[in-house]
Amino acid sequence: MQEFHQDISGYFQMQYLTGKEHIIPYLSQFMDLSQPLRILEVGCGEAGVLKAFYEAGHHCTGIELESHRIARAKELLAEEMKSGRLEFIVRNIYDINPQDEGLQAFDLIILKDVIEHIPGQEKIIPELRKFLSPGGHIFFAFPPWYMPFGGHQQVLKSKRLSKIPWMHLLPASLYRKILLSDGDDPRLVEELLELKDTGISIGRFESIASKYYQIINRTLYLINPIYQYKFGLKPFKVPPFFRSLPFIRNFYSTCAYFLIKNK
């Protein structure tokens, strides 16, 4: 996804602040983060979120498919890497066998704004167990597919199209024509169309995760915590009554936080 490629340092800082000021406090309600943990982030990008956990005293590992993003992470976190508590792996997670790689089990796995990009979610969600310690936790944060900008159309260069909510719910053929109508990069358009196959709803995530894990907590946001740094908006949770409305809650929840635990 080409979002924020023109301001990598700014995006890194937003991820770092979201990790420090929102994700860590959220997890601290359910986990003991006072002792050093082994933490893995899947799809870590430039590792802004991992920086927050590193600063909290944890041993952090990031897995990322795109080598140029890890190269940038190593530049941004060069001093932190000298401690030996921060490392990166540029591989497809399916190609990694923890035992063969000499990887110890992780106490916490993080997927932030990643699961909605991964094909075959029925496969990857249980696959994460091979990296998890007994009783380990997995944290997910993602935009539910049916939310106003669940198709990530806000990254379009077209100022007109980037502001149209729910446009991604149109049939694929019509959606493609509209996306191309203002001259956006065809490669970006194809990435957005791929999201129509991989975008995930709250209910579908719960249906998959509950087969293999215990769901510890679900928190839905009307205003995504990262919007504090993108737009200056204060994070706001979906009110209790609306959280209980199946399917409908997908349309106004801009972010879902889930914490699940190995059964």
Name the residue range of residue 189's domain.
156-198
Helices (H), 116-215: 121-127, 172-180, 186-198, 202-209
Q: Are residues 92 and 185 in the same domain?
A: no
Q: Are residues 134 and 104 in the same domain?
A: yes
* pTM reported for the whole predicted model: 0.94
Q: Are residues 94 and 209 in the same domain?
A: yes
What is the phi/psi pair of residue 221, to 5°?
-115, 130
Q: Are residues 206 and 177 in the same domain?
A: no
- Half-sphere exposure at residue 158, Cβ-oriented, CA atoms within 13 angstroms: 18
Compute the C-alpha angle 250/229/107, nearest 5°.
70
Nearest to 202 by CA among 149, 241, 147, 126: 147
Q: What stretches of 97-246 adopt beta strand conformation (E)? A: 106-112, 132-142, 213-223, 236-237
Within 8 A by CB and 6+ apart from 149, the residues are: 143, 165, 168, 254
> Is 8:197 a contact under the CB 8 Å cutoff?
no
Q: Are residues 36 and 73 in the same domain?
A: yes
Q: Are residues 124 and 208 in the same domain?
A: yes
Q: Into how many domains does the chain fold? A: 2
- Half-sphere exposure at residue 201, Cβ-oriented, CA atoms within 13 angstroms: 12
**Measuring CA to CA, how many Å separate 165 from each of 91, 151, 154, 168, 177?**
35, 9, 9, 8, 16
Compute the C-alpha angle 116/63/12, nearest 5°.
75
Helices (H), 82-222: 98-101, 121-127, 172-180, 186-198, 202-209
Residue 182 lies in a domain: yes
pLDDT string in tens for the chain (263-residue length)? 444 445 788 899 999 999 999 999 999 999 999 999 999 999 999 999 999 999 999 999 999 999 999 999 999 999 999 999 999 999 999 999 888 888 899 999 999 999 999 999 999 999 999 999 999 999 999 999 999 999 999 989 999 999 999 999 999 999 999 999 999 999 999 999 999 999 999 999 999 999 999 999 999 999 999 999 999 999 999 999 898 898 999 999 999 999 999 88
3-state secondary structure of 64: coil
Tokens standing for 92?
Answer: 């497809």
Residue 151 lies in a domain: no
